[in-house]
Structure formats: C-alpha cells, structure tokens
Amino acid sequence: MLRKLKLFDSSMFNRSTQSTSCFSPKWFRSATLFVAAIALTIIFSSGQSAWAQAEFFKLNWLMGQSPSNVASIDNAVVRLDGYQLFVVAAPALNQRFPLEQRARGIEDELNLIANSNFDLDSLQVKATLDQESAQPVISINERYLMTVTTIDAQLQGRDPQGWANQITQILREALTRSKLERQPEFLLNRGLIAAGIILVMIVVIRLITYWLGRLKLQKDTIEAHIEHEAPPYLDAVAVIDLQQQLEQQQKANLSDLKRRALEVAYVGTLGSGIFVILGMFPYSRWLQSFLLSTPLQIVAIAFGTYLLVRVSNLLIAYFLGLLKARDFASLKPYQRLDLRVSTVSQVLRNVAAIILVGLGILAILSAIGFDLIPLLAGAGIVGIAISFAAQGLIKDVINGFLIILEDQYAVGDVIVVGELGGLVENMNLRITQIRNNEGQLITIPNSSIAIVQNLSKDWARVDLTIRVAYDTNPALALNILRKLAQEIYQEHIWRAKIIEPPEVLGIDDLQHSGMLIRTWIKTQPLQQWSVAREFRRRLKLIMEQEGIEIGIPQQFELGKNSLPQVIRESNTNSQKCDDTSVN
C-alpha cells in the first residue's frame, strides 16, 4: 500500500510538472500551507492510547527517559488499525532491528486476521504454556501469534502468565472492534461524518481566505498611502501629519499580525480536519502514526520555530510602535525616539530569534533520540570555557546592552568618546562605529566606552562669545546682539532650528584686550553648528556697519615721556633730585 501511495504521488507530481512549467506564487503558497497544516497537526496532536488498556508508558521528550525507566531494555509498540495494543521488549542491543521485526511480524499477522472476514462467535484467543520454553504462547484460532517473554512481563512489572492473559483480553477486544469497523454500515456512517467535516472545513477555509484577502488589501492600501504621503524631508512634516502616519503604520502592523493569526487558523483547520478524518477509518488510521513519525516531527518543530520567530518579530514591531506613538510633543524628540526604537527593535529581534532557534534545535535533537541532560551539561561546561576565553566579548555585549537600555546614544547621534568623535553610523551589542569630520570610519568596542559626550540628544546649545574693543559702548554692543538674535529667531528657516529665543547673557569678562560678551542659543539636535555659523556671519557685517571693533590686546611704552600723568606728577620731586645729582 505504501508503494502504491508513492507511485500515486509520483504520478501526480509528473502530471503537475507537465501541466505547468513554473511554480506560481498561489500554488506555492497553497502547498506551503498544506505542509504547515501537517506540521501543526503533529505539534498539537497526541498519540492514540491503547484501546481497552490504560496508557502504561509515557514519552518524556525533554528529559530523554526510556518508557520504563530501565535503560537496559528496548521496547517496540504493537498496533492494529492505528491503535496501540501492547509493547514487546528485548535486551538493549546496538541494533533494534530484531525487536522491530518481531513487532512488525505480530502486526502483519493481526492485520491478516482482521481482513480475513473471521467470525466473531468462533473467535478464540488463547494463552497456553509452551512445555519446551516454559513461556506463555498466544494463538488466535489455533494460529500462532507470539510468545510472551520474561522481559515482556518484566517491563510491565507482571509475571509472564498474568501478562499473557491480559494481552489475550486486549487482542480479543481489538479484533472485535476491527470487525465492527469494517462493516458497511459503520463505513457509511463514518463516510457521512467525514463528508460533514470536509464541508465544515471548506466553509471555514473559504471564510479565512476571504478575510486574508481583505487584510492583505487593507495593508497594501495603508502602505501605499504612507509611501505616497511621505514628504522628501522629515523636517517638513507637521506633528499632526506624523501622528497620522504613525497610526497608519500601527494599523498596517496590526493587520499583518491578524493575517498571521488567520494563517495559523487556516493551517490548524486543515491539519486537524485531515488528522480526524484519517482516524475515522481503519484502513487510513495507520497514517496518523506516520504523521507522528520522527521525520515529520522535525518538520513540525522547524515550522513551529519559524512561525514563532515571525510572530515574535511582529509583536516586537507592534509594541515598539506603541512606544513611539506615546509622545508627539515635537518633531525632533520623535526622531530621537525613532532612532532608539529602531536600535532596540533590531537587538530584541536577534535575541528572540537566537532563543527560539536554540529551543527548536533542542526539540529536534530530542525527537531524534538524543539524551538532552548530558548534552545540556556538556553545553554548560563548554559555555563556561568560552566565557573565560571571551571575556572581552562578554564585556562588549553587556556594555552595549546597557548603552541601548539607558539610551546613551543611538544611530544618527554625534558623540565624543575620549579624543574620538563623529556621527554614529552603526551600533550593536559589540561595537559602535562612528565617522569623523575627515570621513574616517572608526570602530570602538563597547567595553572601552566609559565616558561619552552626546552632542545631539534632545537639544543642543550654541555658546557664542565675542570680545569687543575696551572703549566700545556696552549698551550699544548688547543692543546690537539682541537685535540680531531676534532677527534670526523671527526668520522661518531658522525658527525651525532654534527652540527658544536666543539669550544675550551680558558681559562675562573685562580685560585689557576688551569686553567679553556671551550669547546662548538653544537649537534642535545637530543644528548648533549651522546656527552658529550664520550668527557669526551676520554679526561680522553689523559690527562693520556700526563701527564696533574687535577687542585686541593693549600695549604701553614705559618711558619718561609716555608714563601716565598720575605717575609723572607723583614722582616730580624725586626726578628733580635725580637731575640735580646727575648734573
């Protein structure tokens, strides 16, 4: 039968390759969803318990324990029509083939009897003691089926004869059920139920497909609107327009999250429906065990990991978008927040992907059969060794995380670290890259950043000082500076860069070189240099018009004819005495 299914699949594949020359996106998407449905079915479905028998062993995939907690005994499950009946055991060897062959032999004999149209009234399942081996032998209608070994009974904590009697009861009930399930009335009833399930699946899938199409159209419309309305320069965006764009982006993210949820519902509906229908008929119930086999478990785990990574990325984008939408007091703080959010978002996505992929790998190794306890213990030892060998890298990562968490700086800021300074072009948990005024790209390990100056966070200030000549009228100089400051602040192009009216503080210093006048101008981040250059240019022109000179150091010749008048008068008598004595 398996060979026929393979031939059927290959013929269908050949027919599909002949009918089309390439994979259309719609066909590929449908195939992906079908495979995902099978994978999701494996994730959420559990194996069938043995019919008419309590579940006597459990699989602990995380701890890697054997079913009977006896490491020296291997076991194999015997099934009929997809139902687990009992377990046969053998001493643990390097190869499980003899044990699997024994279990398959028993299953083949049971399937042969179930399909032989036997008479329930004449069904005889007996357990007799073999005189030569002194072990119970089970036969059905005088036909040998199996020998119950001591290890079979030991696995269940029973004596061989008692376990053989229980197996006969299990077999009698299982064969009775298989006989009833092969009756035309039963098959017709199950066929009608399956048709109803298929009809419900079609309706649900059509509804999900309809809503998926609507959500995709809504997302495309929102993204097209955002792209069309986006101005070429962010400075030209009004706060209200920026808020509207951010709300539209939030709607797009929410729509994408709903689409992922509907795709999961699509896959769950298709997969669960297929799994239930397969379990309704004795001829197809064995496919349930095939779907729960190790290779498809690996596919299911890989798909589940991929799905979790995608959903985590969407959730991170959604909640960080809510964070950006909290404050719209002004444009530039939003830009600052946007820089931080983009950096934190990338870090969170990478961390979430690493954690989820790591858990997925552990789950795959457990499904294959690896014992995770020694593996995790070995990984812990290796991790300790790596931590000692990579202390610098660990310091970089920890300091980088604190820099991002405390918002010390982000991509797009201008910072100074020690004697190095420039624009932050790239940063992650390990390094920060800045480009200086000469265009050089400088890479700084995060562990070496102890004190950092951020020149572009929230706001900046122009600290402008000018020294005028000592004999300049102070009132005239201060009025000229105040008038110039108000003139620049009133102009629209500079008003967008200056946060508050400039403040002329007054005379800060008096020296022989002149008067020092200080002015403060509070500006938007990264605008302090352009504002300072324009202010100095205009100040130079006004000072020339008003005749105000730049202060320069004063020099005096100390001679007899150039001494100050006060000093000359006070020393007249002494000078006369000196002249008389010289003559």
| Spatial separation of the C-alpha atoms in residues 460 and 482, rounded to whole Å | 20
Contact 39, 45 (CB under 8 A): no
Say how many C-beta atoms besides its own lie within 10 A of residue 373's C-beta.
Answer: 12
Dihedral of the CA atoms 468, 473, 478, 479 (nearest 10)? Answer: -130
* Residue 197 contacts residue 275 (beta carbons within 8 Å): no
Q: Looking at residue 455, what DSSP letter applies?
A: S
Domains of the chain with CATH codes = 73-181 (no CATH), 399-454 (2.30.30.60), 460-546 (3.30.70.100)
Distances in Å between the Cα of 127 and the Cα atoms of 56, 139, 159, 530 are 21, 7, 13, 99
Residues 6+ apart with CB under 8 A from 447: 392, 395, 396, 399
DSSP 183: S
Both structure tokens of 554: 């004063």
Q: Whole-angstrom Cα distance, residue 549 to residue 317?
A: 59
Regarding beta strands 514-523 and 460-468, do their DSSP bridges make them parallel or antiparallel, or are they unpaired?
antiparallel
Quote the pLDDT of residue 73.
Answer: 77
Per-residue model confidence (pLDDT) at position 547: 85
Question: Which candidate, 356, 367, 364, places its Cα nearest to that of 313?
Answer: 356
pLDDT score for 228: 61
Return the amino acid letter for 224.
A
| pLDDT in the model for residue 12 | 37
Q: How far apart are CA 281 and CA 297, in angstroms?
A: 23
Eight-state DSSP code of residue 236:
G
Three state DSSP letters for 515-583: EEEEEEEEECCCCHHHHHHHHHHHHHHHHHHHCCCECCCCCCCCCCCCCCHHHHHHCHHHHHHHHHHHC
Q: Which two tokens stand for residue 147?
A: 């020998």
Token representation of residue 189: 């009833």
Residue 274 CA to residue 197 CA, distance in Å, equals 9
pLDDT at residue 50, as a whole number = 34
Residue with the two structure tokens 């110039």? 484
* DSSP category for residue 472: S
507 φ, ψ (degrees, to nearest 5): -85, 120
Strands 431-435 and 420-427 turn out to be antiparallel
The β-bridge partners of 175 are none
47 DSSP 8-state letter: P
Q: What's the rounded Cα separation, in Å, for the pair 38 and 271?
A: 5
**H helices within 45-159, ranges in order?**
97-114, 150-156
pLDDT at residue 335, rounded to an integer: 54
Q: What is the pLDDT of residue 444?
A: 93
Q: How far apart are CA 521 and CA 485, in angstroms?
A: 9
Report the C-alpha gap between 246 and 181 in whole angstroms: 60
The residues with which 431 forms a beta bridge, in sequence order, are 445
Residue 311: which residues within 8 A CB-CB, separation 6 or more?
257, 260
Mapped onto helix, strand or coil, the DSSP state of residue 502 is coil
Residue 196's H or E segment, with its range, is: helix 184-229
CA dist list (Å): 293 to 115, 271, 524: 25, 15, 63
- CA-derived radius of gyration, the chain: 43
The predicted pLDDT at position 198 comes to 92
**Alpha-carbon distances of 493 from 284, 307, 522, rounded to whole Å:** 77, 49, 15
Tell me if 292 sits within 8 A of 47, measured CB to CB. yes
Token pair of 107 as six digits = 């299953």
Contact between residue 73 and residue 91 where contact means Cβ atoms under 8 Å apart: yes
Per the DSSP assignment, residues forming a β-bridge with 445 are 431
Walk along the chain (583 residues) and give the pLDDT tens digit of each residue: 334 333 333 443 343 334 333 334 444 455 455 545 544 444 444 333 333 333 333 333 333 334 444 457 788 889 888 888 998 888 776 455 688 888 889 989 998 988 888 888 888 888 898 888 889 999 998 889 999 988 888 888 888 899 999 999 999 999 999 888 888 999 999 999 999 999 999 999 999 999 988 888 887 787 776 666 544 444 444 444 555 666 666 677 777 778 888 888 888 888 888 888 888 888 888 887 777 777 777 877 888 888 888 888 878 877 777 666 655 444 445 555 665 677 677 778 888 888 888 888 888 888 777 777 887 787 788 878 877 777 888 888 888 888 877 888 888 888 999 889 898 888 888 899 999 888 899 999 998 998 999 888 878 888 888 888 888 888 888 998 899 989 988 888 888 888 888 988 888 888 878 888 899 999 888 888 889 999 999 989 988 888 888 878 766 555 555 444 444 444 444 444 444 333 3
